Structure 1
């Protein structure tokens, strides 16, 4: 990966590949975490898709299954994870690093209503950063003026769920 040339020179840069999940339940609701960064209160609060970085040797599929289990307690088989049809590159600050990520966004469709989130396998910083969750009706995400990660989630969610291929340009999120 090559860092974009216009990154703010604010923090050490870590480059990685990552996966985000649009987890949809039988009632057409999407799981989002209410989150913040305690090191950067000026960023406020936002709603974020589950997901995270790929560990060494992991595929996006492996990471999607692992991240979903760790962050939510929801266990799915790799065959239940959709194709990576939304691709994006983004940068954001988190704690004392600037992340530059090549991300794919995938879907997971649950057979029943969205369960409560089980935080037992979360990492310590995730327990601090994520202070709530909500199963959002798709129409409410699309109409919302709240802040999201990815930033264009309200605009791109409907085409993504309709099966469109999305190659999103670089997003300097924070």
Structure 2
């Protein structure tokens, strides 16, 4: 995964949970990107934001295995491991979530769907995800890139073009919340 920075100062506010994570830029045939509209009911002051699907990489999984599992669980969209592109965007981020400070070593990979973006089926989500995700949207790439909405990753509009062009993106540490 990602090599840690020599020294990252985290706020001393909550217990820390560190994990490896895969995030997915799911792009449909109309060049629209799937994002969840979400919030953390524990921290209403954070407001609402749009985020990429994805989640933790479990022991023994590759990022591609985790991508397939997470996308199915969160959206009902079934893909194969071969559908998951190279993890060309790497990042390290921290945020507050449900009483814990998460420190995440993340990779972001591209998944291209051959058809139009389907409706999201969240029936396989874990309980807290149903509390957090209250909507989804297939965003046209140009609209996402120019949007002033709040996103996770925070620099998604700025860095999406490089990912779609096949460039490597090594994002500096992001203290998101």
Residue aligning to 1:122: 125
| Residues 126-170 of structure 1: CA deviation (Å, up to 9, x unaligned) | 000000000000001100000000000000001110000000000
2:52 to 49, 55, 67: 49
* Consecutive aligned runs of 4 or more in structure 1 exceeding 4 Å deviation: 1-4
- Shift of the alpha carbon at 1:5? 3.6
Alignment RMSD (CA, Å): 1.1
Match of 1:93 in 2: 96
Name the count of aligned residue pairs: 174
Query: SS of 2:73's equivalent?
Result: helix
Equivalent residue, structure 2, for 1:22:
25
Give the SS at the match of 2:85: coil
1:145 to 2:145 alignment: no
**After superposition, what is the alpha-carbon deviation per residue over 1:77-98, rounded to whole angstroms, capped at 9, x for unaligned?**
0001000000000001110111
Q: Mark the runs of 5 or more structure 2 residues left unpaired by the alignment.
A: none
1:160 to 159, 163, 169: 163
TM-score when normalising by structure 1: 0.97
Q: Give runs of aligned pairs for residues 23-38 of structure 1, distance below 5 A.
A: 23-38=26-41
Any unmatched runs of 5+ in structure 1? Answer: none
Partner deviation per Cα, 1:106-127 (whole Å, 9 max, x = no partner): 0111111000000110000000
Query: Could you report, residue by residue, the CA deviation over 1:34-64 in whole angstroms, capped at 9, with x for unpaired residues?
Result: 0000000000000000001111211111100
Match of 2:115 in 1: 112
Matched, 1:170 2:173: yes
- Cα shift readout 1:63-82 (whole Å, capped 9, x = no counterpart): 00000000000000000100
Q: Pick closer, same or farther for the CA change 1:122–1:141 going to 2, 3 Å.
A: same
2:14 to 7, 11, 31: 11
